[in-house]
Amino acid sequence: RAIYRALRASVSKEDKLSLDRTICDKICSLASFRFANTVLLYSPIGSEIDLTPVAIRALELGKKIAFPICDTERRVMTFKYVSTLDELKVGSYSIPEPDKDSPAFAGEQNALCIVPALASDEQGFRLGYGKGYYDRYMVRFTGVSAGICYSNELKPFLYHGRYDRHVDVVVTDKRIKTCNK
């Protein structure tokens, strides 16, 4: 994890802005984005890919957007709807989150969940921050999941354990890789 964090931190602000914009454009070009009623996003921290353009585009198209809230005691994550990015406030792990009283995402199938990763592999397995929130969430998620990372973070194979879940598609600045189930 430290290697991938350092790799990502070495990207200049200008390059990061360009790479993030390219990834967001690719996400918005996905059929799963076009047909989704709800897009599950995350609030970037540190060097994570900024999905603000995806959130804005989804709202412009009349889609619902939702962001995660982490329950640090039970180590589970739920998604809550917001109607504007201004509704996000600093929460668990210093990550901007919706209000706990916001309506919860009900799990409809026409949803796209965008999953952050420090690195991903060709099979759709990802290296996250090690707490397992997304892996536990993906067990019950029935929509399409899209992992995102920079192209230099997409590897042929990453070690994964039996509880790790893969995404349906990996989006990088250079390609969109559909992963077999």
Strand, coil or helix: what is 56? Answer: helix
Q: Exposed, middle or buried by CB within 10 Å (0-12, 13-18, 19+), for 24? A: buried
Length of the chain: 181
The pLDDT tens digits of the residues spanning 10-67 come to 999 999 999 999 999 999 999 999 999 999 999 998 899 999 999 999 999 999 999 9
Cα–Cα nearest to 153, from 179, 181, 128: 128
Res 162: pLDDT: 84
Looking at residue 92, its pLDDT comes to 87
Residue 89 to residue 112: CA distance in whole angstroms: 23
Query: Using CA atoms, how far apart are residues 140 and 118, in angstroms rounded to an integer?
Result: 23
Q: Which long-range contacts link 53-58 to residues 24+ away (Cβ below 8 Å)?
A: 53/20, 53/21, 53/24, 53/25, 53/28, 54/24, 54/27, 54/28, 54/114, 55/85, 56/85, 57/24, 57/28, 58/33
**Strands 64-71 and 76-82, bridge-based pairing:** antiparallel
In the predicted structure, residue 5 carries a pLDDT above the cut 90: no
Q: Please tell me the distance from the alpha carbon of residue 114 to that of residue 134, in angstroms, as a whole number.
A: 10
Strands 64-71, 38-40: pairing kind: parallel
User: What's the pLDDT at 181?
Assistant: 60
Please give the C-alpha separations between residue 152 and each of 25, 28, 156, 170, 174, in angstroms, as whole numbers: 18, 21, 11, 13, 9
Residue with tokens 């192209």: 151
